[in-house]
Amino acid sequence: MPVTLVSAVKGRDSAAKLALLEAVQGAIAATLKLPSLDRYIRLAEHGRDEWLLPEGKSDAFTLVEIALFEGRTPETKGELYAAICDALEALGVPRADVFIRIIEQPRENFGIRGGQRADLLDLGYQVKV
């Protein structure tokens, strides 16, 4: 049950914004083997006067921050990074303009399905992949 924030420079039209979100979500779902309806993803856009980008990055720079249950292997995380970069590159975002940050937390730190502790529930998928 990742909770994802995609940050990008303003300037995309509605279709491009949706494509960006779908690309990132698709990579996450496929790599982590999540149900297709497990979607908690949002887009934050920033004007160039609101975001100091890293040196040498273009207006295509995209920051992907994913909060998720702890338990994925380093290999799975590497696959996830590559899958997100592949998906964004297909939309014209250079791989060098993608930064991905994973924030892992214990399952008890998530209140889901009406405020229940996630560690007490059957999620319907494996976290340890």
Nearest-angstrom CA–CA distance, 27 and 33? 10
Measure the CA–CA gap between 6 and 116, rounded to whole angstroms. 26
| Model pTM score | 0.94
Q: Which domains does the chain have, with CATH numbers?
A: 3-120 (3.30.429.10)
Taking every pair of C-alpha atoms in the chain, what is the biggest distance, in angstroms?
46
Percentage of the chain exceeding pLDDT 90: 88
| Mean pLDDT calculated for residue range 99-118 | 94
Per-residue pLDDT at 81: 98
12-23 pLDDT, tens digit per residue, is 999 999 999 999
Residue 29 pLDDT > 90, yes or no?
Answer: yes
Q: For the segment 66-80, what is each residue's pLDDT rounded down to a tens digit?
A: 999 999 999 999 999
